[in-house]
Amino acid sequence: MRLVSLTLTLHLTVAALARPAAAQQFQGAPQAPPSRIPPPAPATTGGFLGGVPSGTATGEVLTITILDAIRRALDHNLGVLTAEQSINRAGGARWRALSDLLPNVNARVGETRQRINLAAFGFGSSPGSPFADIPGIVGPFNVFDARLYVSQAVVDLGALNHSRAASHDAEAARHTFTSARNFVIHVAGNLYIQALAAESRAAAARAQRDTAGALFTQAQDLKQAGIVAGVDVLRAEVQLTTETQRVTAAENDAEKVKLQLARAIGLPLGQRFALDPDLPELPDPDLTFEQTIDAAYRSRPDYQAALERVKAAEATRQAVVGDRLPTVRVNADYGEIGLTVGDARMTFSVVGAVNVPIFQGGRQQAERLEAEADLRNRRAEAEDLRASIYYEIRAAFLDLQASSQQLQVATKARDLAAQQLTQSRDRFAAGVASNIEVVQAQEAVALAAERYIAARYGYDLAKGALIRGTGTSQTVLRQLLGGRR
């Protein structure tokens, strides 16, 4: 079933987003048997399957809807929190780069007690020297100096382009944060649906176990009446044991998926909770494939972040070129100096300087090669992401169409399998068939139930994947919440 493929797709896309500029796409996964959805693999998820627990666990069982889970994930998911701090980090780097263009002002107040040996500088040491009358030792005396220092870049193309690059990086970080929020909506929704599917499998397994128990009791009664042989009782008991094992495995899987959901949304440790099976109806796509692609290129924040990183790399390359050009700076100081505070007098100095880089040991050549390589990488990453968006949306359209058809077929197959089991039980009770036919009908019911669960929740996952592909997850969430966050 496509649900397994969609689940594996979730792991691939989380790992893609965890890479700073990697392509984020829903790649096709090999079809697995429709027996169960494998739990998420923590080794490939970056931080989006982790969360920061918040609050204190209560003794009651909380009922959490899918919208509750998404809201908590937006506040406590580790991937979102990490992306949010990346904005602050990028903002700090931008201010650091901008500081080379803004005035640098420092103040200094000092008082010095000193004694100077002028003879060490040629004063008063040589007969006939014009400084022979100056004593060799001066002091001790005090010097008080209170001064304001200002330094301002007038022309510095390297610093200007470094500042532009940092601004683009800061904008990329903001887009990445938006993309992280969009993606965590997708992650939390997928985990919630996986948990619902796992609980449905556990419920279906319990129903099959109860049916097997009733058939075992029926076989025992028929054997005592002499209608069936002892091997039918043995076969029914084996089937009951098998169904009991399935219940244990299904319930265990359901609890583990719920644990993963609790971790991703930051529930308090040890908090018991239940899921609400009522899922909100996601909007059906109202755009063609081509229109959806164009909208995704305009609105996907991860793609916009990739374009900003390209601009940052271009500015960095220009900054390397600017570092090889002359710079003009003005340095000035203003203050009062004297032997004491009382007799200090105002002094100042203004210095304009032109610095011309001539040779720096090949450092600028190395920086140019690094900047050009980084620019080529950023451009390649942006093009790869553009292609991945195309394939991601194409796959989402295919999954949406296939899962819709599978849901119709699976619903009919489930009803037919239930009728087959009823007829097989009647034939076995009448003694016209062995319970081999009943066991086969039970397996058919179990398989039909699994396929129905996969198709039912796979359709919702396909809709969510398409919304994620267009980059409108937060918009749809606000619509579902009635305009609230």
Contact 347, 144 (CB under 8 A): no
pLDDT band at 428 (very low <50, low <70, confident <90, very high): confident
Q: What is the pLDDT of residue 171?
A: 95
Query: Can you list the alpha helix ranges (DSSP code H) found in 21-156?
Result: 66-76, 78-98
**Strand locations in 262-319, DSSP E?**
273-275
pLDDT band at 49 (very low <50, low <70, confident <90, very high): confident
The string of pLDDT tens digits covering residues 131-150 is: 667 777 888 889 999 999 99
Q: Are strands 345-355 and 327-338 parallel, antiparallel or unpaired?
A: antiparallel
Give me the chain's average pLDDT, please: 83
Residue 24 clears pLDDT 60, i.e. is over it: no
The string of pLDDT tens digits covering residues 390-414 is: 999 999 999 888 888 888 888 888 8
Cβ-proximal residues to 94 (8 Å cutoff; 6+ apart), any chain: 163, 166, 167, 169, 170
The string of pLDDT tens digits covering residues 340-375 is: 888 889 999 999 999 998 888 888 889 899 999 999
**Domain 105-156+323-355 CATH class label:** mainly beta
Residue whose token pair is 């063609």: 288
Domain ranges of the chain: 2-99+158-322+361-480, 105-156+323-355
Half-sphere exposure of 451 (CA within 13 A, CB side): 19
Residue 128 clears pLDDT 70, i.e. is over it: no
Paired tokens of 359: 């040779």
Paired tokens of 210: 């109860």
Q: What is the pLDDT of residue 418?
A: 87
Distance CA(136)–CA(119), nearest Å, equals 5
Query: Collapsing DSSP states into helix, strand and coil, what is residue 152?
Result: strand
Q: What is the rounded average pLDDT of the residues 19-35?
A: 34
pLDDT band at 13 (very low <50, low <70, confident <90, very high): very low
Residue 469 clears pLDDT 60, i.e. is over it: yes
Q: What is the pLDDT of residue 1?
A: 37
**What DSSP string runs through 339-388?**
SSSTT-EEEEEEEEEEE-----TTHHHHHHHHHHHHHHHHHHHHHHHHHH
Comparing 2-99+158-322+361-480 with 105-156+323-355, is the CATH topology the same? no
Residue 250 clears pLDDT 80, i.e. is over it: yes
Q: What is the pLDDT of residue 23?
A: 35
Residue 338 clears pLDDT 50, i.e. is over it: yes
Q: What is the pLDDT of residue 28?
A: 31
Give CATH for domain 2-99+158-322+361-480. 1.20.1600.10
Q: What is the pLDDT of residue 132?
A: 65
Residue 58 clears pLDDT 60, i.e. is over it: yes
Distance CA(100)–CA(93), nearest Å, equals 12
**CB burial string 385-399: b at 16+ within 10 A, e below:** bbebbbebbebbbeb
Q: How far is the first Cα of the chain from the last one, in angstroms, to the nearest whole number?
A: 34
Sign of the torsion formed by the C-alpha atoms of 117, 120, 126 and 131: negative
Q: What is the largest CA-CA distance in the chain?
A: 143
Strand order in the sheet with 327-338: 104-117, 137-155, 327-338, 345-355
Distance CA(456)–CA(249), nearest Å, equals 21
pLDDT band at 39 (very low <50, low <70, confident <90, very high): very low
**CB burial string 335-365: b at 16+ within 10 A, e below:** bbebeeeeebeeeeeeeeeeeeeeeeeeebe
Paired tokens of 212: 């097997």
Q: What is the pLDDT of residue 130?
A: 67
Top pLDDT among 134 and 235 is at 235
